[in-house]
Amino acid sequence: MSNHGKPPEVEVFTQSHCTNCRRVDQFLRERGMPFTVRDVGADPAALEAIASRGYMSTPVTRVGERWVVGFNRRELERLT
C-alpha cells in the first residue's frame, strides 16, 4: 500500500467509449482517492505506457508500482 501514510499515486488509462473505465473512475471517486486519467486515444505516451507492459485493452490502473487490468474491484479495494 502506501509509504509513511501517503496515498499511492494512481493513474487510470482509459478510452472514451470504455464502460469499465467509467466504473473505475466512479469507484475511485467514491473512495475519495485522487487519481489522474490518461486517455490512450488522445495521448500516444499513455498508449505506449500500457502497450509496453503488454496491455492491449482498457481500463488499466496503476496504483503506485502495481498494475490492475480491467475493473477488478477486489484488487482496487486492496490497493487503495
The domain total for the chain is: 1
Confidence class of residue 4 from pLDDT cuts 50, 70 and 90? low
User: What per-residue confidence (pLDDT) applies to 3?
Assistant: 52
User: Domain residues for 23?
Assistant: 10-73
User: What per-residue confidence (pLDDT) applies to 33?
Assistant: 94
Question: Is 61 domain-assigned?
Answer: yes
All cell numbers assigned to 69: 487490468
Alpha helices by DSSP H, listed for the chain, are 19-30, 44-51, 73-79
Kindly report the pTM of this predicted structure. Answer: 0.89
Q: Residue 25: which CATH number?
A: 3.40.30.10
Task: Give me the mean pLDDT over the 8-34 stretch.
Answer: 96
Q: In whole numbers, what is the pLDDT of the chain averaged over residues?
A: 93
Question: Is 78 domain-assigned?
Answer: no
Cis omega (within 30 of 0) on the bond before 34?
no
Question: Is 32 domain-assigned?
Answer: yes
